[in-house]
Amino acid sequence: MVVKNICCIGAGYVGGPTCSVIAWKCPDIRVHVVDKSELRIKQWNSEKLPIYEPGLEDVVKECRGRNLFFSNDIEMAIKEADLIFISVNTPTKTYGIGKGRAADLKHIEMCARKIAEVAEGNKIVVEKSTVPVRAAESITHILSANTRPGVSFQVLSNPEFLAEGTAVENLLHPDRVLIGGEESVEGDEAVAQLTWIYNHWVPTEKIITTSTWSSELSKLASNAFLAQRVSSINAISALCEATGADVSQVAVAVGKDSRIGSKFLQASVGFGGSCFQKDLLNLVYIAECLNLPEVAMYWQQVTDMNEYQRTRFAKRIVECLFNTVTDKTLAVFGFAFKKNTGDTRESPAIYVCSHLLEESARLNIYDPKVECKQIEHDLTSAAVTSDPERVQQLINIYSDPYEAVKDAHAIVVLTEWDEFISYDYRKMLSVMKKPAFIFDGRKILDHEALIKIGFHTETIGKRFSRNTLLRASGGDIKMMH
């Protein structure tokens, strides 16, 4: 069999960009992306795509209608496809056994049942969603228990390693592509088919093939290692603040060791996004279920440290603002969980803002990409507050950062958007309440310059000493402590 038709179930942050790039790089293959959400599909077929990713719009515009199609006709797409990607969401369970930790596989199971129900002929089913180890076994079980005569399935694991904000770049130039398959002749043949697709633009040496279980676990392990690096440097940042060391200097010194490496050593207000937290919790849950409590505790600590970092930052804001933010206005710069995306899932901004709202602060929020209604939704959801009306009264969403800082007591930077670096902070300071504070939760601003123009500046992993302040101000600054 040569793959001529691909179907992807799930038109989200993974399914959309991944299949757009496949369609772009494989003009000989028809790619059909389907979703149960009518709105999502309508947006994929419109001028304004449902997600923002640098470079994505150009790829979609070139392929859409040529060999890339978005629709809600899931059954038809399954029937036509030789290979089916499952890219549906696998959130943390919010009910029942494993609540708050295990991955909820209900969407995966629904896809498996739908495929079994309507498929004709031989299909390769590819698990692209992040799943617990041995999920492919469950999919195989459901498929084989419902298989009709003349139909056969091979299930592969092909986890996605793209990072939001750089999805197209990551898909075009992946560090590696991982394909896990059953160790059999049929399994090898299916792996070869998927390898052939990636080979359209990814060199063979970057394509790793493993057993299905190794592939599934590698994805969880990769995210756990990445999150662990962030929590490790954040733990050091707390030590820096207490001792007078500077976490940026420590990160450079540590990262120069080639065994450690310099990437992902940026201290911050904490990691966010839909994956790190959920995949860590999933790993913890799996370890617990396998009676490995020490392993579970080890990884649990990575997410506990992240929570500690967010709370610590919010508390420091309150502390610096003379121990009260009640009725004070704080301009919040950035709400997305990282720059170059409009995604707010598990964004540290949600946690820091909700802590400040608890303290009755008024928040003027600005983000270049996040929609106003998304911010309102995130801050008024039941998981965040029991009093959505009050939150609604305390927040104002702005489309101009210079408007957001008017009469504010402080600026709080929660996303590392590049544009925040080049703002005219002197102009902002002139319309703010004095003393004016700036809390840089992403360590992106020029702190000495801010101190020099008169901002009381706070950041992660560094305390500005009296000497720094005096040096930066030419000796005439008044310390607020």
Interface residues with ligand NAI (CB under 6 A) are 9-15, 35-37, 40, 74, 87-90, 107, 110-111, 129-130, 160, 162, 164, 274-275
Closer Cβ to ligand NAI, 110 or 453, answer by number? 110
- For residue 465, say whether it is annotated as part of any ligand binding site: no
Closer Cβ to ligand NAI, 74 or 404, answer by number? 74
Closer Cβ to ligand NAI, 14 or 394, answer by number? 14
Closer Cβ to ligand NAI, 214 or 311, answer by number? 214
- For residue 276, say whether it is annotated as part of any ligand binding site: yes
For residues 340 and 422, the answer to whether their CB atoms sit within 8 Å is: no
Rounded Cα gap, residues 409 and 434, in angstroms: 7
Please, what is the minimum distance in Å from the beta carbon of residue 72 to ligand NAI? Answer: 8
Rounded Cα gap, residues 411 and 423, in angstroms: 12
- For residue 13, say whether it is annotated as part of any ligand binding site: yes
- For residue 92, say whether it is annotated as part of any ligand binding site: yes
Closer Cβ to ligand NAI, 162 or 391, answer by number? 162
Please, what is the minimum distance in Å from the beta carbon of residue 17 to ligand NAI? Answer: 9
- For residue 128, say whether it is annotated as part of any ligand binding site: no
- For residue 10, say whether it is annotated as part of any ligand binding site: yes
Please, what is the minimum distance in Å from the beta carbon of residue 252 to ligand NAI? Answer: 28
Burial class (CB in 10 A: 0-12, 13-18, 19+), 375: buried
Closer Cβ to ligand NAI, 61 or 106, answer by number? 106
Q: Which residue is nearest to ligand NAI (CB)?
A: 12
- For residue 11, say whether it is annotated as part of any ligand binding site: yes
Among left, alpha and beta (phi > 0; psi -120 to 50; other), residue 385 is beta
Closer Cβ to ligand NAI, 71 or 311, answer by number? 71
- For residue 129, say whether it is annotated as part of any ligand binding site: yes
Please, what is the minimum distance in Å from the beta carbon of residue 470 to ligand NAI? Answer: 45
Please, what is the minimum distance in Å from the beta carbon of residue 111 to ligand NAI? Answer: 5
Please, what is the minimum distance in Å from the beta carbon of residue 129 to ligand NAI? Answer: 3
HEC-encoded secondary structure of the chain: CCCCEEEEECCCCCHHHHHHHHHHHCCCCEEEEECCCHHHHHHHCCCCCCCCCCCHHHHHHHHECCCEEEECCHHHHHHHCCEEEECCCCCECCCCCCCCCCECCHHHHHHHHHHHHHCCCEEEEEECCCCCCCHHHHHHHHHHHCCCCCCEEEEEECCCCCCCCCHHHHHHCCCCEEEEECCCHHHHHHHHHHHHHHCCCCCHHHEEEEEHHHHHHHHHHHHHHHHHHHHHHHHHHHHHHHHCCCHHHHHHHHHCCCCCCCCCCCCCCCCCCCCHHHHHHHHHHHHHHCCCHHHHHHHHHHHHHHHHHHHHHHHHHHHHCCCCCCCCEEEEECCCCCCCCCCCCCCHHHHHHHHHHHCCCEEEEECCCCCHHHHHHHHHCCCCCCCHHHHHHHEEEECCHHHHCCCCCEEEECCCCHHHCCCCHHHHHHCCCCCCEEEECCCCCCHHHHHHHCCEEEECCECCCHHHHHHHHCCCCCCCC
- For residue 384, say whether it is annotated as part of any ligand binding site: no
Please, what is the minimum distance in Å from the beta carbon of residue 108 to ligand NAI? Answer: 8
Query: Catalytic one among 275, 289, 320, 353?
Result: 275
Closer Cβ to ligand NAI, 10 or 181, answer by number? 10
Active site residue 275: yes
Tokens in use for 179? 């394909």
- For residue 342, say whether it is annotated as part of any ligand binding site: no
* Annotated binding-site ranges: 10-15, 35, 40, 88-92, 129-130, 164, 275-278, 345
- For the annotated binding site for NAD(+), the residues are 10-15, 35, 40, 88-92, 129-130, 164, 275-278, 345
Residues with catalytic annotation? 275
